[in-house]
Amino acid sequence: MKIETCTKETFAVIGKEGATNDGEGFIQKLWDDANSHFNEIAHLAKRDDKGNLLGIWGAMSDFSRLFNPWDHFSQGLYLAGVECSDDAEAPYGWTKWLVPGYEYIYVENENNNTFPDVIKYLEENNISLAGAVNDFICPETGKNYMFFPVRRL
């Protein structure tokens, strides 16, 4: 497991929102919904100078919407979407979140052990989570990452 760090200022994500109390498989259903209707928000997505998407996010928050970690890492909100400009308006049926800026530890999500392995690493190194963990899909490589916020900006 290769652990890296970065800092990311507050950013906006427009996507499909759901909650753990929506039942098993709700995250995949959100991604299916977001992907099948992406054309509705494609024009809002941030892009690089080559026209490629900058970020696809599975943003998370506790139920208070304060971006705290999920309750017992098992209950909370999830937003499957794309990074967009802060002033973009979410169309009907979509939700916009402004994810606070954090310093992150991030790792490639290679298997089902990634989350517990990083939580163990944080505990062993006396590092506390400063917010909810986020999923990130790099549009350029297609690789999945988990972003663990360790300091709020």
91-115: pLDDT as tens digits: 999 999 999 999 999 999 988 899 9
For 106-143, write each residue's pLDDT tens digit.
Answer: 999 988 899 999 999 999 999 999 999 999 999 888 89
The contacts of residue 86 (CB under 8 Å, 6+ apart) are 10, 11, 12, 98
Residue 72 above 90 pLDDT? no
Instruction: Give dist(CA 118, CA 106) in Å, integer.
Output: 9
State which amino acid sits at residue 72. H
Give pLDDT, residue 28. Answer: 95
pLDDT above 90 (res 61): yes
For residues 84 and 14, the answer to whether their CB atoms sit within 8 Å is yes
The pLDDT value given to residue 128 = 94
Q: Which tokens hold the place of 152?
A: 């709020």
Distance CA 50, CA 24 (A): 38
Q: Are the CB atoms for 47 and 56 separated by under 8 Å?
A: no
How far is the C-alpha of 95 from the C-alpha of 19, rounded, in Å?
Answer: 13
Which residue shows structure tokens 């290679």? 110
Distance, CA of 9 to CA of 87 (rounded, Å): 15
